[in-house]
Structure 1
Amino acid sequence: MTSRLSRSLLPDLPALPERMIQFGGGNFMRAFVNWQMQQMNLKGLFNGSAVVVQPTAHGKSTSLMEQDGLYTVLLKGRLQGQLVNSSEVIATVSRVINPYTDYEAYLKLAEQDELEFITSNTTEAGIVYEAGLRQEDAPHSSFPAKLTELLYRRFQLGKAGFIILPCELIEDSGEKLLRSVLQHAADWQLGDAFAAWVTEANTFCSCLVDRIVPGYPRDQADALEQKLGYEDPFMVSAEPYHLWVIEGPAWLREKLPLAEAGLNVIVTDDLSPYRERKVHLLNGPHTAMVPLGLLAGLETVEDVMKDSDLGRFVQELMEDEILPVLKLPRAELLDYAAAIRERFNNPLIRHELASISLNSISKFTARLLPVLIRYQQTQGKLPRLLVLSFAALLLTYRGDQVARRDVPEVLEAFDRNWIDPESFVPGILKEERLWGMDLTAVPGLEALLREHIGLLEREGVRASLHQLT
């Protein structure tokens, strides 16, 4: 019988000073931020650990301390043509604080001079200003309110500010977090001097993060634990590829020497081209393949990429319909697209289409709808492959062929409009709360969607693709 992973199994691991406060200890942060901290430590460039703050009352981050903050990262997949299959025990989480059970321990972080950085990944909904929160209602429900209180304690102590690196997948994350903090400061009447300190003594950086992290390898866990010689319920699998783009000052490269450690990290004064490339050319095809793949009876991203019909669809969608509307040089985009297809075609990670399908409507609206509209405006016609994927998405939300995974109000809108199949397309396109606009205003979209939905229903996915590719 194997033992639980702990420092007793690895007694030579050093205790590292806490240099980072990390809101969120989920799979992504442990396989991305904490993993990168370890790579800097191994090169002798950082010598630091992170204290994790559990962002929600019902989180499980504190359970990580049952194994002394240690866990295993499994890198599985292809990187620059080479197959990677490695395991590494990560030792950059010093402790976990639950502010809902020990709020004072959380606020005492403001006293530690060695803490210089704050990172976060509290989901896309995490950086949201919540009106009506009072300063005395601690612990606050929102991340920005918690951060405001911590910064205020730091200010009162007369200490230096932080470098703040929010990794939530939203545009202008640093700027939005700063605005929320300043709004809470105004609500709580914390004073002009504090507001000035927040802006001048702290550096809020917007971030773009990229690594596919499927998480705990449930189907392989027993075999892996036998091979590794210990139990690790916090084991996390990830692809080898990673990218962290930080919109911040040039001096940050020396302060946080990620790139010097050989990591794929870019510090820039404008991350918008990188965000557009990632959202539309990586996340976009990920979202586009799901409804077609599910309707074709496929289960994983790898299944799609190895399928002659669906694999060709992904490549032609990227090169013929998404690339033409992006602003970076075409040669650079083609290289990036090829790297993405290599990442998708990963034999060592089972990335299920059903799991990716969660909240597909909001994903389509953010990742693919801007491409569809821009293509129509610049090319004078609609992107037929993208519209076919849109049609398949609408069919999957009928619920009779594919299980739907979305919020109740989205499902209610589809159920209401599917009552009358004849009026479904114009009805659903008029649901502005789904798409952010009335899509019946897009020239030709209603008619082409009707055509593609009919084609999919009559002929199926493969025959429909054969007619369009």
Structure 2
Amino acid sequence: MTDRLSNRTLGGLPEAVRVPTYDRDRVRPGIVHLGVGAFHRAHQAVYVDNILADDPSWGIVGASLRRPDTRDALAPQDDLYTVVARDQNGDQCRVIGSMTRVLQADEDRAGLMTALTAADTRIVSLTVTEKGYCHDPATGTLLPDHPDIVHDLANPEAPKSAPGLLVAALAERRRLGRAPFTVLSCDNLPANGSTARGVVIGLAHLMDPPLADWIEAQVAFPATMIDRIVPATTDADRETVAAAIGVTDAWPVVTEPFSQWVIEDRFANGRPRFEDAGVQMVADVAPFEEMKLRMLNGSHSTLAYLGYLAGFETVSAAIGDPALRALVKRLMTDEVTPTLSVSGIDLPGYRDALIARFDNPALKHRTYQIAMDGSQKLPQRLLGTIRDRLAAGASFTCLALGVAGWMRYVTGVDESGARIDVQDPLAPRLRSIHEAVGDDPPALARAYLAVEEVFGTDLAANAEFTSMIERHLSSLYRHGVKATVQSLVA
């Protein structure tokens, strides 16, 4: 049987594999991370790994909020795992040692609360996805009737949600007289710092108004922009990694060479020297965040819905289609770029670099994966840009086609008549709308636009926007994705 990646086997890995150069026995946790998934392990945990040789007080305690997979895979490996940076030139393997342990919240809530309230814990970071904030994406405010929030209000000692865990931990730190931690959101949502602040303080107000006042005065919620494409790990990836490093790794992460992290430099209780690890520490993240959400994520979602419907399994296959490639380039050039103002950034160069990243054939980033949770993503990725274009009296036809592609996708049936397993918090409601309305594109478009959690009330009332969505959705039904896109970019 092949040996498992672990502290014991670390020294015997091939020379080409980069391994931690610091003494892991000296690493102490200073960060607790909620939502230990592939993205965190390929992004923030790598940056932290870069600083531990100089300051070992910033190790990470990870917490899985829903499933035990990550804990179960990493525990036998001393929480080591491999990050593979992959492109057409091959793989570069690196073992990451910044995770000190992973907890499963449902099974060890006491252990998680102990970590969250420890005096040495100075930062709590999050990658819980948009839906983990239990908020209304259209307004950014807490949803008091969200099932997890209802549970947490009734059971404050055993919270389920990320906001509930943060409020409970901050309440205990206040009771103990300990300094608060900084809440560092690393999720793709607009103004992620202020969104995290709003849901945490909003929940605290419902539970304990004086606590809410203390959090408002004492806790920092810096905004961030994060960027790295991280597809889901496959069994083939595990086999490739095992062959490259000579031992079994149950939970490697495959990603692209590119990585970016921009952080608002505002912390309540100290921070690592992130800048030494390549992080951009800035006074205002908003321009960078908007650039990324609108250019990269907006294009990604457009490619995901249209590409999946057209039969393209991966992003690289979708961008390889000349018409889809032209659509994405036009979307970024003509409709997104005019809404942005980012000092020191060459936006045409950024656009071309994004297309090159999408075109990476070695990174099997599935369109189905990107298409998940679209009702939570559309407001940030496409609809904000559309609102700006409407206000300016400017064109938004490519953006609108992305929205229509989402509507066609969430019906749950693709162009060939095959079922789509739509993964979305609103999937049952979206499916019932389709079942009630049927395949009548104008009526279906109007019914979906009435979903205020996604579109608010303004877009459904805008005749220009509604008319364009109806036309695009009708064309997708009548002619299919490829012909519709071709007619748009011809």
- TM-score relative to the length of structure 1: 0.86
Name the structure 1 match of 2:340: 326
- Counterpart CA distance in 2 for 1:123 and 1:462 is 31
- Counterpart CA distance in 2 for 1:249 and 1:183 is 21
Q: Is 1:24 paired with 2:35?
A: yes
Name the structure 2 match of 1:259: 275
Q: Verify the 8 A CA contact 1:391 1:449 in the aligned structure 2.
A: yes
Name the structure 2 match of 1:76: 86
1:210 to 208, 215, 227: 227
Q: Is 1:436 paired with 2:456?
A: yes
1:37 to 24, 45, 48: 48
SS of residue in 1 equivalent to 2:132 = coil
Q: Is 1:242 paired with 2:259?
A: yes
CA displacement 1:244-300 (0-9 Å, x = unmatched): 222233999x84212222x2x222332221221111111101111223323433221
Name the structure 2 match of 1:343: 357
Q: Verify the 8 A CA contact 2:181 2:268 in the aligned structure 1.
A: no
Name the structure 1 match of 2:367: 353
Name the structure 2 match of 1:288: 302
- Counterpart CA distance in 1 for 2:431 and 2:281 is 40
Larger Rg: 1
Name the structure 2 match of 1:5: 5
Please report how far the alpha carbon of residue 29 of structure 1 lies from its aligned counterpart in structure 2 after TM superposition: 1.3
1:149 to 155, 168, 175: 168
- Counterpart CA distance in 2 for 1:347 and 1:224 is 18
Structure 1 segments unaligned to the other structure (5+ residues):
none
Name the structure 2 match of 1:367: 381
- Counterpart CA distance in 2 for 1:67 and 1:465 is 48
Q: 1:106 to 1:443 in 2, by over 3 A?
A: closer
Which amino acid counterpart does residue 96 of structure 1 have in structure 2? V
CA displacement 1:17-61 (0-9 Å, x = unmatched): 12212222211111112111111224x2555311123323x4334
- Counterpart CA distance in 1 for 2:182 and 2:48 is 15
1:441-456 correspondence to structure 2 within 5 Å: 441-456=461-476
Please report how far the alpha carbon of residue 350 of structure 1 lies from its aligned counterpart in structure 2 after TM superposition: 0.3
- Counterpart CA distance in 1 for 2:64 and 2:401 is 42
1:51-200 correspondence to structure 2 within 5 Å: 51-56=61-66, 58-63=67-72, 64-77=74-87, 83=89, 85-109=91-115, 112-128=118-134, 130-131=149-150, 133=152, 137-189=156-208, 192=210, 197-200=214-217
Please report how far the alpha carbon of residue 111 of structure 1 lies from its aligned counterpart in structure 2 after TM superposition: 6.4
Please report how far the alpha carbon of residue 199 of structure 1 lies from its aligned counterpart in structure 2 after TM superposition: 4.2
2:245 to 228, 238, 243: 228
Please report how far the alpha carbon of residue 379 of structure 1 lies from its aligned counterpart in structure 2 after TM superposition: 3.5
Which amino acid counterpart does residue 139 of structure 1 have in structure 2? A
Please report how far the alpha carbon of residue 213 of structure 1 lies from its aligned counterpart in structure 2 after TM superposition: 1.1
Please report how far the alpha carbon of residue 187 of structure 1 lies from its aligned counterpart in structure 2 after TM superposition: 4.7
CA-based RMSD of the aligned residues comes to: 3.1
SS of residue in 1 equivalent to 2:131 = coil
Please report how far the alpha carbon of residue 357 of structure 1 lies from its aligned counterpart in structure 2 after TM superposition: 2.0
Which amino acid counterpart does residue 230 of structure 1 have in structure 2? V
Q: Verify the 8 A CA contact 2:33 2:63 in the aligned structure 1.
A: yes
Q: Verify the 8 A CA contact 2:153 2:207 in the aligned structure 1.
A: yes
- Once the two structures are overlaid, the 10-residue window that deviates more, 136-145 or 271-280, is 136-145
Please report how far the alpha carbon of residue 236 of structure 1 lies from its aligned counterpart in structure 2 after TM superposition: 0.8
Q: Verify the 8 A CA contact 1:52 1:96 in the aligned structure 2.
A: yes
Q: Verify the 8 A CA contact 2:442 2:470 in the aligned structure 1.
A: no
- Counterpart CA distance in 2 for 1:202 and 1:430 is 37
Please report how far the alpha carbon of residue 228 of structure 1 lies from its aligned counterpart in structure 2 after TM superposition: 1.5
CA displacement 1:380-429 (0-9 Å, x = unmatched): 5x433333344444334442526431411112122322254564444444
Name the structure 1 match of 2:320: 306
Please report how far the alpha carbon of residue 184 of structure 1 lies from its aligned counterpart in structure 2 after TM superposition: 4.8
Which amino acid counterpart does residue 19 of structure 1 have in structure 2? G
Which amino acid counterpart does residue 77 of structure 1 have in structure 2? D
Q: Structure 1 stretches (4+) deviating beyond 6 angstroms?
A: none
Which amino acid counterpart does residue 30 of structure 2 have in structure 1? R
- Once the two structures are overlaid, the 10-residue window that deviates more, 449-458 or 136-145, is 449-458
CA displacement 1:162-208 (0-9 Å, x = unmatched): 2321223333333343444445555554x84x556534544222222
- Counterpart CA distance in 1 for 2:117 and 2:484 is 63
Q: Verify the 8 A CA contact 2:442 2:474 in the aligned structure 1.
A: no
Q: Verify the 8 A CA contact 1:429 1:438 in the aligned structure 2.
A: no
- Counterpart CA distance in 1 for 2:153 and 2:368 is 40
SS of residue in 2 equivalent to 1:444 = helix
Please report how far the alpha carbon of residue 90 of structure 1 lies from its aligned counterpart in structure 2 after TM superposition: 0.9
Q: 1:330 to 1:298 in 2, by over 3 A?
A: farther
SS of residue in 2 equivalent to 1:205 = coil
Q: Verify the 8 A CA contact 2:450 2:460 in the aligned structure 1.
A: yes
1:395 to 401, 408, 419: 408
Which amino acid counterpart does residue 431 of structure 2 have in structure 1? L
SS of residue in 1 equivalent to 2:30 = strand
SS of residue in 1 equivalent to 2:434 = helix
Q: Verify the 8 A CA contact 2:82 2:93 in the aligned structure 1.
A: yes
Q: Verify the 8 A CA contact 1:46 1:257 in the aligned structure 2.
A: no
Q: Verify the 8 A CA contact 1:247 1:268 in the aligned structure 2.
A: yes
